[in-house]
Structure 1
């Protein structure tokens, strides 16, 4: 996190063009909170509360109309469990990529994928990769594992107390499971991992959450277990927290990469040289060469996993389908592998250990988001595993397309043509 001297000095000189050191210091001083009005209404979803918030913002009718449009106001109550201080909705363009043929354990068929993004060339790129896979008969996709955790932490006076607590906790696992599962009709506790660091103990509870992504579900279940621990443990912690940052929630971590968080999936395809030439205008060897160099580049920068741009496709699909978009931080981690076979075909595979997705709960029931899931036939119960396999297929398509563009020299031209209209 250091900054080179030249950059620091240049930044300082730019700042001093706008005022003296004393003036800059004054800009950083705390301001009186009495002069700053609070947002009114809290979680109330009423026309009156909305009007008070818009009065606070003191903006133009055109700005208000763009955010609080008539359809949004008509559907206002649909958002009441997903937002606070509601003032309207933001419209993001949605494009369709595909068709993508997925031959999975749970996903079977051709899918047209709604991608919500403001990045030109993204939908075209994923659509091209999807069409290439479909022309080969589709990709094979497989759900390998699933589970999501919440990791409370407990602090004790010393290591001896931590050890005694851990021995008690190990004997309580069946009780912990019963308590946790009493809070939900869908979640199941499947494991408990223990970590001791000095006088700190972390209990990483692992759950399956049905067709929900499950972050809120596992938080409520774990809080119930923590209440039991505070009431019944013979060795009482000095303090504790329901999440002590060991679960990997909304961040890329080596722990999740090596095990699972959400759903672990993989997808593969063998692609002929003729189809790669037709769709990507390059060769299997050129794509393998690019993959090899980019794998080393990723290693040199210290990335967790090696891949091209998982975040692009996941963020667009998550936004369209009501997923927790912040989970892209952990979901967009994995490994892409390209190899040229003896038959001069390209073997391509992606593996993602951290896909946090759901088809019920969260934002999946909002009007547009549910409609996007319906477009794919993946809305509602018994669809989350298929959705995860479709995600893997989409990301394989995206890796093929972007690496094909880089290998063929078309990457820059595509962005100039689609993003700048040249």
Structure 2
């Protein structure tokens, strides 16, 4: 009898609980024992789930009661051309030369954007045709001279809710917070050597006071950092005001839920990417016109989304974000916030009378990091290394900024490709041709 068999028997007999196995064996043996218990209880073969390549101990910070790994196909698109220094001079009609992905040094931040050069973007998905579509869009962006991307705002938020006796106490609490931001900053930053408190915004609803703390968490996505820091600051608020803490998260943050506040104020990184594409290139590669794409975007992404009461006004930005998140170890539940994307497509007239297409995506709440969380898992680390963005950047925060900008350009490529397919009426045939 193996050690895993013995542990499994002890679980079946009630001697051990399934979450206690790492106290009696190494992590891989514990995972094997759980698979044996499940196989016996459910009459299921877990051979594929148990066929993983990294040591189970590496996943201890990321999962409990591990039984194996969910394997999702991963592909790559690109190179993703990002003009971090300055935008291209305008739309071009021809193909640009191929290039290779830059290394970490070449991707270092500059006076413009954090991402500069060409990046291969790994994407993990089960949706056929997605990477082909994104890659088509990226090819057009390359031919147009590359896209420009910028992180325009940075602030991971945590918003505790306090109870007060009434509106008078609420007003006193808000007044104290507004006058004592430095005291709150000192308390919050005492818990971290990296995070910086950038602001506290009060909101009052009757006898509830919400304080929306925002942090620069550098290269970490920073949710845990923000939570711990805010907890420390809350002790000062309770000691100095009439407010009593009810919950460390009051949903004004707002984490992992569709929320207008994130679409308006941003959360994590707010990032925009844009490109100008010549009408000739649109016609040659997308088999449609700038006017047709602009109209499709207005009627579908803007009017249609407004009629539906959507928060995001885009074609499928979450598709690209989700696949990039899974590949690079981001918190997949935060894709719901990353879908807060507005896509614009406009025509621009040249002096010679021809028409260009101006295309952009603005992601209000893209929550990404290159250190901590799932980024430390071996597969995800390798994906970030492909990008040249694994680990902390120099200066701090530059790698996460660059990752946000590259993902934004990938989302822009996806929007271009899908809107091109829709306006040329090729969407169904494209899926049919790819057997998807």
TM superposition score category, shorter chain reference: 0.7 to 0.9
Matched, 1:240 2:246: yes
State the partner residue of 2:35: 54
Deviation of the 1:70 alpha carbon:
5.5
Deviation of the 1:157 alpha carbon:
2.7
State the partner residue of 2:202: 194
Offset from partner CA, 1:242-289 (integer Å, 9 cap, x none): 111101111222211112211111111111122212221212121112
Q: CA–CA distance in 2 between the matches of 1:271 and 1:220?
A: 46
Matches within 5 A, 1:12-411: 39-41=18-20, 46-59=27-40, 63-69=45-51, 71-72=53-54, 75-104=55-84, 105-230=113-238, 232-237=239-244, 239-294=245-300, 295-342=302-349, 343-382=354-393, 383-411=399-427
Q: Mind listing any 5+ residue stretches in structure 1 that lack a counterpart?
A: 1-34
* Contact in 2 for aligned 1:39/1:56 (Cα 8 Å): no
RMSD over equivalenced CA pairs, Å: 2.1
Deviation of the 1:95 alpha carbon:
1.0
Query: For 1:286, what is the secondary structure of its paired residue?
Result: helix
Offset from partner CA, 1:140-199 (integer Å, 9 cap, x none): 111211111100111123223323333333333211100110111110001110111111
Q: CA–CA distance in 1 between the matches of 2:317 and 2:324?
A: 11
- Mean Cα deviation higher: 284-293 or 355-364: 284-293
Provide the TM-score with structure 1 as the length reference.
0.86
Offset from partner CA, 1:393-420 (integer Å, 9 cap, x none): 1111000000011111110011122244
Deviation of the 1:334 alpha carbon:
1.7
Q: CA–CA distance in 2 between the matches of 1:300 and 1:234?
A: 44
Offset from partner CA, 1:182-221 (integer Å, 9 cap, x none): 1111100011101111111111111110011100100010
Aligned pairs, how many? Answer: 382
Q: CA–CA distance in 2 between the matches of 1:408 and 1:351?
A: 24
Instruction: Assess, with a 3 A threshold, how the Cα gap between structure 1 residues 303 and 103 changes in structure 2: closer, same or farther.
Output: same
* Contact in 2 for aligned 1:40/1:52 (Cα 8 Å): no
Instruction: Assess, with a 3 A threshold, how the Cα gap between structure 1 residues 174 and 62 changes in structure 2: closer, same or farther.
Output: same
Q: CA–CA distance in 1 between the matches of 2:136 and 2:32?
A: 46
Instruction: Assess, with a 3 A threshold, how the Cα gap between structure 1 residues 282 and 70 changes in structure 2: closer, same or farther.
Output: closer
Q: CA–CA distance in 1 between the matches of 2:201 and 2:65?
A: 38
Deviating above 4 A after TM superposition, structure 1's stretches of 4 or more consecutive aligned residues are 42-45, 59-62
* Contact in 1 for aligned 2:39/2:45 (Cα 8 Å): no
Q: Mind listing any 5+ residue stretches in structure 2 that lack a counterpart?
A: 1-13, 85-112, 394-398
Deviation of the 1:61 alpha carbon:
9.6
Q: CA–CA distance in 2 between the matches of 1:137 and 1:243?
A: 44
